[in-house]
Structures are given as C-alpha cells and as structure tokens.
C-alpha cells in the first residue's frame, strides 16, 4: 500500500493483476505461477475441474488464502499482504453464507455498517434496500435466511457483496448448489447486474456452459496454471492446447495424418490450429457439431444409438474403420434415421486441433 | 403393528411415549418428594418448616453456599472467556487440532475423581504460595472437570452452522477478527455457549468428591457434614440446591430449537 509498491507495480489499466502466484497444499500445486490480468469492469470466469486451483486463485485475491510467492495488484495497489477485511472485495460463496441470526436487510447492511461508519442509519438502510431491489427481493427484507430458498439466499448474498461497492466482485461457484432452472435465471441476472454496475468480476466455476455464457473472457485452468484465457468463442473455436480443446465442449478424437498444416480425416483435408502437431499421425479433436451426418443407403458408416437432448440429438456413429464418433444433429434429421441406418459422415471445414 | 392404521399407530406410539415419560417422571419425582416430606417432618405426624428456617443459622452453611456460587461464576467465566475463544480459534484456524482438543477436553471424564485429586494435590500444595488457600482456587480444577460437558455443548453448536463460511463472509465485508467472532460467530453459537455455561454451574454446585478430598468447604461438603448431625437440614439444603439447578437448566435454550431451525432450513431449500 506504500507509494513505493505502486510505482513498482504499474497497473497498466488493469483492475486486477495476479502476478506469478504460487501456492502448494502439501505435495499438490494449487497455484503454479498463475498470472491473470482483468480489465476494469470486465468479467472473467475461471473454468476447470475440481482441484485445478481456480478457487484457490479467487481466495488468494479475496485475501482468504495466503500465497507463497507472487503479487496481487488491485487498481495499482499491491494488496498481496493486506488482510481480507481491508481489501474491499465482495464475495459470494458456494455454500450459503448469509448470517443466520440476521434478517436479509441486516445482512446487506452489515458490510455498510463496517465500511462506512459515518453513514447515517437511515441512509444505510435505504442503500441496503436499493440493493435488495436490485436483486428483486425488496419484499423479503425482513425474512431470515432459514425462511428463504437457496436461490433467494444467493441473491441476498449477491446484494450484500455489492452493497459495499467492492473493488472486485468474487463469485465462488455461487450457482452450484441451485437447481437447473434457478441456476440459469440467476446466472443471467448476475450478468445483467454486473454490466449495469460495471463491477470488475472474477467468477469461478466448473460448469463450462455457465462460464462461456456469462463471461467476457474465460480462463481454463489445469493443475494450478492457466491453459488459455480468451473470449468464449475464441476458446471454443480456437483452442490453443489439446487440454482446452478436449475440456471445452464435446469432442471426438479422430486419428489422421498431418501434412503441411492440414490433417486428413474421413477422406477430407482440414486445416489444423496453431499448436497442433505439424507432421505424422495424430488425433484430430473434432466437436460433435462439426460432424455432419448424411443419410445414404449406400453409406459406409452405421448409426448405433441416439440420445434425445430436447433441442437437438446426439448420435453415435460407427465409422468404416470400426471406431465410433458422436455427432450432434437436428431433431428433423433424426426422424429419418434409426439404429442401423447407413450414413455418410462429413467434417465441417473449420480448423481443428490435432494432438 | 403393521395391521394398524397410521392413526392408530400414532396413538400407540403416543401412549408408549407417555408411559415412558410417566415412569421416568416417577423415578425422579419420588426421591424429590421424599426429600420434601423428610425435610418438613415434625414430631407426631405434624408438618414443620423448622429445618428450612434453620438453614441460615447452620454453621458454615451460608459461607459454603456463597463459596460454591462464587466458584460457579468463576468456572462459567472460564468457559465463556477461555474455552469458547479457544474452540472458535481452533475451529477456524487450526481445524487439524480439533480432534486433539476434543480428546483433551474429554479426558477428565475418563479419570476418576480420586485419581485426579491424587495428581492435583501436589500442584495445589505448590499453589498455596501464589494463590493462597482460598477455596476459590478450586475454580482451576473445576474448570477442568466441566470441560467434557461444556466442550460437547459448544462443539455441537459450532458444527451446526457453517461457521467457516460465515466467518469468511464477514471478513470480506470488512470485519476485524474480533468483530467477526463477537458479531457473527458468537451470536450463532449462543445456544451452545449458554448450555455449556449452565451445565458447568450445575456441575460446580453439585460437586463433592474433589472439594472434600482437597479439604475445601463447598456447599456439598458442608451439607454432608450437616447431614451427619441434622439430617433434615441437610436434606432441605440439598433440595433447595436441586431446585436452584432445575431453575437454571429450565433457562437453557433447548437444543431442540436449533434442530428445528435446521430442519426448517432443509425443508425450505428442498
């Protein structure tokens, strides 16, 4: 917090800079030289399987987790050694974290009471009321946590975190305890509120649909380090590593030979993405929706099973060489197919990652 | 039973419950009523409150009651200001020590009082120099004796709420460690703290073995001596002490309440 540390660590316009964070739990590397920059007002999602270090990174930023080395800079200030209660981070936890002995209103007021002691009580309760309004629960101000549903509790927790005008909003899998419908509703609402207030946000989740749909940029983490941090479309269509290609979306691994930047699979030549192997035999990682299934009575591939997903269908197809692939197809197409139908399988022309 | 309708099954269960309650009630009530009867027994089948009236003038009795009450307050303060903060700290910061703390706190339960006294007597001898020979020094050993019960009560309360998450939430909202503990953790384990405190008071008021063996005149020791001279007075005091303990315990917020809240919460989150 000294001027010295500010000059040593220029913010370069970023609201949050995590610089080479390092943390181990026993022999497990939770953070392995992790660096992330988050722009002002941006929402970044950290995505990865459990144990990849995403929650540790978020907790380190909150000040709830000590790190071994590295630097945490928020709006140009080095907060690495600052305690959690001084950092002014609004956090929403995975488990219900409302104070059970306080009403919704008191929960939201709690942070205001601590942060801005000079604020008169009427101002404070008015401000808390506004945030309850923002999350659509103004009518539940007098309810206690045990009288609220899980979704409502998380909304109040969000209001409580936002009420202190946090420098960064930290969301630690806030939706994972909720059922599917409430989850997608609240997800959209979080995004709406985040854009409305322009709060810089770090969102941690293991649900890729959640990450891709809500964030400005998504970072895929693995074993404590960042694999790729990019816009959702870029992450999806232009993965930089095999891990990202396989982790995000549903992927088929189809063997093929690489030559001169192209891979030959299913009798087609497809461009390879940067980072792929440059020659020899490899596995092309092809998305299920990039495989086109064309009914053809003299086709060489055979339909094995369907699974109906609502808006579309997934089909398992046996290729001429005996291996199977999964393709995502429209419901109309499926109606003309049955298990055992002969088909042709084509690959869409977008570039693929080959490992 | 399986031929019964649900309503009939409920009736049978209720009847069963009531009978158990009744039998246990008798089991506890008979001795208490007998004490009341004995302490008010006069000559030739008359009733008299003589023994009760004699309580204030019985030798050493009032002093010993005062000593016991002081001890109860000391021990309660020890539970609230030493055990509770320690347990909260271990729960939040050193969870790997939870089991060790529990084992240590349960230890007094496994050590017979006589063994404890044999071990503690030399310590008390060396303590005279520092703390004098006041019976209030019994507070130290009593605090050890109440550990198993207070620990149980407080730890049950700590486990019944997600203390770690609410503590972290209050930290991120700007609370210092002290504010976090006083404003967030303690109010949510209040029931456990009160149970722990009240149980220790009851225990201290009823303790006889250790104080007798260490030659301190607490209430129970004096009641015992008195009983050898005048049975009726000693029974009257015992009954009064018992009633006092019952009154105290009736102030205990029942752990049931916490259970209900949890059940409600589960029901509402489905």
pLDDT in tens, B105-164: 999 989 888 888 888 888 888 877 777 778 888 888 899 999 999 999 999 999 999 999
Q: What is the mean pLDDT of residues A155-165?
A: 93
> Which chain B residues are closer than 8 Å to A63 by Cβ?
171-172
* B170 contacts A110? CB cut-off 8 A: yes
* A148 contacts B174? CB cut-off 8 A: no
- For chain B, say whether A66 makes contact (Cβ under 8 Å): no
Q: Which of A103, A101, A98, A123 is nearest to A113 (CA)?
A: A123
* B270 contacts A110? CB cut-off 8 A: no
Q: How far apart are CA B45 and CA A271, in angstroms?
A: 112
Instruction: Report the pLDDT value the prediction gives residue B260, as an integer from 0 to 100.
Output: 41
Give B193→chain A minimum CA distance, Å: 15
pLDDT above 90 as % of chain A? 54
Q: How far apart are CA B48 and CA B56, in angstroms?
A: 16
- For chain B, say whether A100 makes contact (Cβ under 8 Å): yes
| Phi, psi dihedral angles at B133 (to 5 degrees) | -110, 25
Q: How confident is the model at residue B180 (pLDDT cuts 50, 70, 90)?
A: very high
pLDDT above 70 as % of chain A? 97
Q: How confident is the model at residue A299 (pLDDT cuts 50, 70, 90)?
A: confident
Residue position matching structure tokens 């020094």: B137
Strand pairing report for A168-172 and A201-205: parallel
Strand pairing report for A313-318 and A77-78: unpaired
Q: How far apart are CA B265 and CA A145, in angstroms?
A: 8
* Exposure class string for B62-86: b at 16+ Cβ within 10 A, else e: eebbebbbbbbebbbebbbeebbee
Interface predicted TM-score (ipTM) of this complex, two decimals: 0.83
- For chain B, say whether A165 makes contact (Cβ under 8 Å): no
Q: In terms of pLDDT, which residue wins out, A175 or B134? A: A175
Given a cut of 90, is residue B6 above it in pLDDT? no
Q: How many CB atoms lie within 10 A of CB A255?
A: 13
Report CA-CA distances (Å) from B132 to A80, B102, B121, B127, B137: 51, 32, 14, 7, 8
């Amino acid at each position: 917090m000294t001027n010295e540390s500010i000059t040593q660590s220029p913010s370069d316009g970023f609201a949050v800079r995590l610089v080479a964070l390092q943390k181990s739990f026993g022999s497990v590397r939770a953070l392995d030289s992790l660096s992330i920059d988050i722009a002002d007002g941006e929402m970044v999602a950290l995505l990865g399987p459990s144990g990849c270090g995403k929650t540790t990174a978020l907790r380190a930023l909150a000040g709830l987790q000590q790190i071994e080395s590295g630097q945490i800079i928020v709006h140009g200030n080095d907060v690495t050694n600052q305690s959690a209660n001084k950092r002014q981070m609004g956090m929403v936890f995975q488990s219900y974290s409302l104070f059970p002995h306080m009403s919704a209103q008191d929960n939201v007021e709690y942070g205001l009471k601590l942060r801005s002691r000079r604020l008169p009580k009427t101002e404070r309760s008015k401000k808390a009321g506004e945030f309850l309004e923002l999350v659509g629960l103004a009518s539940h101000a007098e309810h206690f946590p045990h009288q609220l549903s899980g979704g409502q509790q998380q909304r109040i927790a969000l209001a409580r975190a936002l009420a202190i005008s946090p420098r960064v909003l930290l969301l630690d899998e806030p939706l994972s305890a909720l059922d599917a419908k409430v989850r997608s509703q609240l997800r959209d609402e979080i995004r709406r509120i985040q854009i409305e207030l322009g709060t810089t946000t770090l969102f941690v989740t293991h649900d890729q649909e959640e990450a891709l749909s809500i964030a400005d940029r998504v970072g895929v983490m693995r074993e404590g380090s960042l694999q790729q941090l990019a816009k959702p479309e870029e992450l999806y269509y232009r993965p930089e590593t095999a891990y990202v290609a396989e982790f995000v979306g549903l992927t088929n691994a189809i063997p093929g030979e690489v030559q001169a930047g192209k891979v030959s699979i299913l009798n087609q030549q497809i461009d390879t993405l940067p980072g792929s192997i440059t020659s020899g035999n490899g596995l092309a990682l092809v998305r299920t929706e990039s495989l086109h299934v064309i009914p053809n009575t003299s086709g060489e591939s055979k339909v094995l099973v369907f699974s109906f997903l609502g808006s579309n269908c997934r089909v398992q197809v046996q290729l001429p060489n005996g291996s199977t692939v999964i393709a995502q197809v429209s419901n109309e197409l499926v109606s003309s197919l049955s298990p055992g139908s002969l088909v042709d399988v084509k690959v869409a022309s977008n570039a693929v990652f080959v490992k | 039973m399986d031929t019964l309708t649900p309503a009939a099954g409920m009736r049978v269960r209720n009847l069963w419950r009531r009978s158990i309650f009744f039998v246990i009630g008798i089991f506890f009530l008979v001795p208490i009523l007998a004490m009341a009867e004995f302490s008010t027994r006069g000559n030739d089948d008359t009733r008299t409150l003589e023994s009760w009236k004699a309580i204030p003038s019985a030798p050493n009795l009032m002093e010993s009651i005062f000593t016991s009450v002081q001890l109860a307050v000391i021990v309660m303060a020890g539970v609230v200001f030493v055990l509770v903060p320690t347990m909260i700290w271990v729960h939040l910061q050193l969870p790997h020590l939870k089991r060790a703390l529990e084992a240590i706190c349960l230890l007094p339960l496994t050590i017979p009082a006589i063994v404890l006294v044999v071990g503690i007597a030399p310590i008390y001898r060396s303590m005279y120099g520092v703390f004098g020979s006041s019976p209030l020094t019994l507070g130290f050993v009593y605090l050890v004796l109440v550990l198993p019960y207070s620990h149980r009560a407080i730890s049950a309360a700590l486990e019944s709420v997600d203390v770690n998450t609410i503590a972290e939430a209050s930290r991120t909202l700007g609370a210092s460690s002290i504010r976090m503990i006083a404003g967030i953790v303690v109010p949510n384990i209040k029931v456990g703290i009160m149970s722990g405190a009240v149980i220790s008071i009851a225990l201290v008021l009823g303790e006889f073995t250790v104080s007798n063996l260490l030659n301190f005149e607490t209430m129970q020791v004096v009641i015992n001596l008195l009983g050898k001279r005048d049975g009726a007075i000693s029974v009257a005091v015992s009954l009064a002490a018992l009633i006092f303990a019952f009154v105290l315990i009736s102030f205990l917020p029942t752990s049931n309440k916490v259970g209900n809240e949890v059940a409600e919460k589960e029901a509402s989150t489905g």
